[in-house]
Amino acid sequence: MNNMHQENERKYIHTESTHLLRKTGYRKRKLATKLRKVVVMVSCIMQLIITSGIGYGLSVMYAELVIVFNAKRADAALIQSLNMGLSCSSGIIFTSLIDRLGPGKSIVIGGIVSSLGLFLSAFAHGLTLIILCTGVLSGVAMSINFLSAFMTTSFMFPNSASLFLIILTSGHSIGQFIVPLLYELFISQYSWSGAFILISVNVESWFIVDHMVSRGFTRESGSMLVSSLGIGSFIGRFLGGILQYAIKWPTVYHWVYLCTLTAGLHALIINLNEFWSLFVSCVMYGILFAVTSAQLPAIVFEASGHERYPRAMALINIACGLGDTLGPILGGFIKDIFGEYDVVFYIAAGGSLFISGTAIIISCIINYRKFRSESDILAFDVEYKTLK
């Protein structure tokens, strides 16, 4: 009788588990092989190359559209700000969709819709259609690919997610290096509208091209500086992985000194006028910014844990998306009023110092909690030995 009861209970648990797995869209799978993990990692990096690169490269298109449509910079900046902001912040809307369909199908849907938005922008006769198609439609669609890449990586490497999430962010850097050059090539060969068709199959990155044009340099020179940020960014992602692997302390500790150095470069770049000194400074800035931003997914994972990571990362992306949305708009607005970008760069320097100060406070809280935890354990040991 007892055996029959246990057998019925086992069948019930099995039935309920199967129903739950089907409901959530997950099925029992074999353990991933090393080859499969490599393929998945490369695919996720490719998603970030495309998603980040397209939004980042719009800084080149921004300078061109201001001239073509004789538009205010604040209006033209809406295209990049909405695209980059929504690609980060709107991903939380699609977490249930990604859970149900899986990352693969979700990425296919996001890629098709994003390409459609970019393609339609080529037929615009003003900024409004470009803002709606490239800024809103493509930005929202890209958020599916963006979040899917982070979710997949955290699930594929649960035991070393912090390290592989930092490696994943190398896709940002590769996209920042390659895509601005493609924009420049496509604009020079096929005009801005042709560039949108071909493309459809951070403060320096937003304004450096227009800043260079304003100071008498060519748009090509500005495009080279944007790509130099990508070169530095790739080096920075690599260094971020080394720091995570070699130094075993909470990741947020690194932000104390990295953000301070970044603030210094924000202020330095705006005061340089010679091309090669700007080039070197942009490479250095790309390195520092990449090391810092590469550690954000790891900080979120360490704070939230594996189970809560997808939602936590989606919430962090909302915050990043708000910054990406407001940054270009405010920068263009300031340029329209003051005729230069100096104020923008100094504000960015102040923001970096604020983050550094916040990191100091968080580090103190971590150390305090660690001290309290060790004190509690020591007190328990003393009490236990006394009772014994």
The residues spanned by each domain of the chain are 36-387
Question: How would you classify residue 25: left for phi > 0, otherwise alpha for psi between -120 and 50, otherwise beta?
Answer: left
With vertex at residue 359, the alpha carbon angle to CA 356 and CA 145, rounded to the nearest 5 degrees, is 95
Q: Which residues fall within 8 angstroms of residue 202, CB to CB, at 6 or more apart?
A: 56, 229, 289, 293
The amino acid at residue 37 is: K
104 alpha-carbon distance from chain centroid: 19
> Does the predicted model carry a pTM greater than 0.95?
no
Q: Are 164 and 44 contacting, i.e. CB atoms less than 8 angstroms apart?
A: no
Query: Burial, 64: exposed, middle or buried (Cβ in 10 Å; 0-12, 13-18, 19+)?
Result: buried
> Over its length of 388 residues, how does the chain's per-residue pLDDT go in tens digits?
445 544 544 444 444 444 444 444 444 455 677 777 888 888 888 888 888 888 878 878 887 888 888 888 878 888 888 888 888 878 888 888 888 888 878 888 888 898 888 888 888 888 899 999 999 999 999 888 888 888 888 888 888 887 888 888 888 778 877 887 777 777 776 677 767 766 666 455 556 666 666 666 776 777 777 677 777 777 877 787 777 777 777 777 887 888 888 888 878 877 877 888 888 888 888 888 778 877 777 777 777 776 777 777 777 777 676 766 776 677 777 777 777 777 777 888 888 888 888 878 877 877 777 777 666 666 656 565 665 5
Q: How far apart are the first and last CA of the chain?
A: 45
pLDDT at 192: 73
Query: Burial, 58: exposed, middle or buried (Cβ in 10 Å; 0-12, 13-18, 19+)?
Result: buried
pLDDT at 24: 42
pLDDT at 26: 43
Q: Which residues fall within 8 angstroms of residue 358, CB to CB, at 6 or more apart?
A: none
pLDDT at 28: 47
pLDDT at 106: 86
State the Cα–Cα distance between residues 68 and 60, nearest whole angstrom. 13
pLDDT at 9: 46
Domain 36-387 has CATH 3.90.1150.10: no
Question: Alpha carbon of 106 to those of 136, 235, 257: distances in Å?
Answer: 18, 31, 38
pLDDT at 22: 46
pLDDT at 34: 79
State the Cα–Cα distance between residues 95 and 84, nearest whole angstrom. 18
Q: Are 222 and 213 contacting, i.e. CB atoms less than 8 angstroms apart?
A: yes
